[in-house]
Every structure is written in structure tokens, then in C-alpha cells.
Amino acid sequence: MKNLSIFFVCTFCIVQALTAQTTDTDAFFIRKIYDNALTRGRCYPWLEYLCKRIGGRLSGSPQASAAVEYTRQMLDTMDLDKVWLQPCTVPRWTRGDREVVRIVNSRKMGSVDLKALALGNSVGTGPGGLSAEVVEVLSLDELEKLGEANLRGKIVFFNRPLDPTQLNTFAAYGGAVDQRGLGATRAARFGALGVLVRSMTTALDDAPHTGALRYEDGVPAIPAFGISTNDAERLSALLKEEPVRVYMRSTCMMLDPVVSYNVIGEITGSEKPEEIILVGGHLDSWDVGEGAHDDGAGCVQAMDVLQVLKRSGYRPKRTIRCVLFMNEENGLVGGATYREESDKKKEFHLAAIESDRGGFTPRGFTCEGEASVFEKYFKRVSRWLPLIEPYGLHLKPGGSGADISGLKAQKGLLFGFEPDSQRYFDYHHAPTDVLETVNRRELEMGVAAITSWVYLLDKYGLD
């Protein structure tokens, strides 16, 4: 009995020593990843080219095509095992002439132009524009209560702000964005002629924000515009003093769909190539800015993950795949196409990481998975927290990303890369989303954080 006790004690000590050695090895390698990302990373010059040489990359546009070819070529220079384009047929919307939204003949203000952008996928007003009295509402429920008697022939102004008490600005966005996505269709049911929507940002400024809306079959499609938060405040204050009439004009329209592409590159796994770890972002962006934070940052970070792994001398056990998705902003066709093709091939994504929350200071990762496996796998990856906490990173349950969420059925883990969120909606879908708002070091720190997590997922798997 005494000898057996000694055996167990010795075995425990050996296991502890091996565990400590493994942890030290991982810590040193993660430090190496950070050093490479911060001194030899390529993410920022890639982003500079996307922003300054190509610009806004709305799906189906010449700029989107240029971005596909540029990123394919960049991946092709990295000595990857495979680089390819995956075709997908995407919707095509064009903004047309510069929008006009104008308060007309106010007793207090006279005629005043508001800073406005047509919402994505919106129909136009026609070349002559339209003019009507404005009715303000704060919610879709309030709209329903007003009904046709109060809304027919009017322009509905949705003015619910993002909740400033939400510490997570994505939660604030989620609590307000229904008025942008559904407002036009709901208002049209009651005979409204058009819609104005307060921009989806926590800031009070003069930059209008666009973003997609959805029309419903059988309901008339009416034009919809986002207006700046400062103009939303002015319009709301004026409505408390007098009836307000607004003239609006836009020539935006949907065109025939066209073929575009997801851009994909991978390092094939040396031991378990059938297990895929995906890193990605969406290559398309709105046309009004440069798509720097949304989502050029996520794309170049995903590309740089492969480059940093190779420069760090690491040979992955599993297949590491970079996917730049097309058409996240106004259709999600790229993500749906990727998932369908993956399922047809019976692929298994052990993990997928999406970066689509801007290029700000890394805070960690959120994680989700199919219910039957999530608890077990989440406990497994939580053991690695001591290795990333020194870099200010956390791991918590939550969402992942719009383009990868459909992969949940493959029963791996899905992660959303989470930078600091406080400034993101200042730039989201706005003309202010330009390269100058991206800090190079913060962007590179994001690459290092994602690469470190990919390294741990690849080395240890989920078993």
C-alpha cells in the first residue's frame, strides 16, 4: 500500500511538471506571435490599400471586384497551400445621385437641408422626389398604435436612440436597429410615403449612417433615409413646436444580381487536415466610407494570422483557413454560400473566428456552439485563459459573427473576436469609416490575439 501511494505521488508530480513545461512552452510561443505581429505584420499596409486605393466595396460594385482580386493576389504571395475564389451570386444596389432631405418652409427655421443617406436596398423616390408631413415615433409598437388614420400620406421619423446606459455598445445597437431594418415596411403597411431613421450611433454628430433595410413581399416598398443624430435632435425639437414638412429625393435602385466571390486561402494541416479552423471577416463594405473598421480591419487581420503563423515557424496540425466573405452588409450571400458548400463536402469546422467589430484594442473573445457540445468544449478552451489574460484578453459566452453562425450545426465552436466597442458605432456604416480612424498598433494587437487563439485551438483541439 505504501509503495502504491508513492507511485501515485510520483505520477502526480511528473504530470504537474509536464503541465508546467507545456504551459511555459505555450507562453513563450505566444510571446513570439506577438513579437512577429507587432514588428513584421502586414495588416496595416493591406488595409491602407483597401481603403485608399479601392475604397468603399459594396457587393456587386467594381470596387468589390477590385478588392477580391487584390486580396487573392496578397494571399497568393504568402506561399499558402491553397488559394481560391468561391463564386456567389450577390444582390446589387446603387445609391445614385446625392440624396436630398430638406425641412421645407418651417415658420421657425425656413428651409433647411438635413444630412442624410439612403438606407441600403432602399427604393428611390423618383426624380421628382416627394414631400409630406412628418410623424415622429420611438418604436415599432408606437407605430402600430398610431395606425393608418395617423400615418397615411406621411413621412414616419423613427427617433429611438441607442441606449447610452448599455456598457456594451453592440447591445445598445441591437436594441435600436429594428427601426432601421423593419421601419420602412411597417410604416408602408399604414400608407406612409417614406421613412427617416435616426442614425445607429451613440455619438451626437453630423455624420449620417446607412445600413440595410428589408422589404416584405406584398407590402409597398417606400424610400428610407438615415439622418445624422444632430439633425434627428433638431427635427424632434422642431416637431414639438410646429408641424413639419420634409422634402426627400433619391435615385437609388436595385440592379440585376451579379457573380462575385468569397476569397479563401489555407494552410493544410500536417496531422488532422480534415479539422478546419477558420478565421475571417467580410470583404464588402458600404459605399459611403472606406470600410476601414467595417470590415477591412477584420479581413486584413484574418489574412495576417496566416502570415504570422508562417513567420513564427509554426506548422499547424489542423487546416487553418482564411475566408473573406462577400455581401455581409446587404444580403449575407457569401456566408450562406460558404456554409452550403462546406456542408456538401461534409467538412468539419473545429472552430471558426470572425473579426467584424472594428480594429480597436483587443479585449477577448465571445463564444457559442451547438447546445449538445457547447458546455464541454467551452470548459476545455477556458483552461487556456491564463495564457491570454496577461494580454488583457477574456473569454465569455456570447455570439460569434453573421457569416460563420451557420457553421454551428457542424458542432465545433464559434468565436467572435471582441475589441473595445466604445468607438465602433461612431464610424459604423458612415462616411467617417476611414483609414485615419484605425490605430496601427491596435490593429496589429488584434492579429496577435487571434493568432494566439488559433495556435491554442490547433495545438490542443477540443477533445
CA 117 to chain CA mean position, Å: 20
φ/ψ of 191, rounded to 5, equals 85, 10
Rounded Cα gap, residues 89 and 272, in angstroms: 32
Q: Active site includes 436?
A: no
Catalytic choice (275, 328, 418, 444): 328
Residue 266's nearest CA partner among 87, 89, 417, 458 is 458
Q: Which residues contact 423 (CB under 8 A, 6 or more apart)?
A: 358, 360, 437
> Residue 98 burial by CB count (10 A; 0-12/13-18/19+): exposed, middle or buried?
exposed
Contact 322, 280 (CB under 8 A): yes
Distances (CA, A) of 191 to 187, 204, 277, 280: 7, 31, 49, 42
Rounded Cα gap, residues 244 and 59, in angstroms: 36
Output Rg (C-alpha) for the chain, integer angstroms: 25
DSSP state at residue 76: H
φ/ψ of 84, rounded to 5, equals -155, 165
Three cell numbers, residue 261: 466571390
Cell 467589430 belongs to 357
Three cell numbers, residue 458: 490547433
Contact 269, 319 (CB under 8 A): yes
Q: Are strands 394-397 and 348-354 parallel, antiparallel or unpaired?
A: unpaired
| Active-site amino acid positions | 328
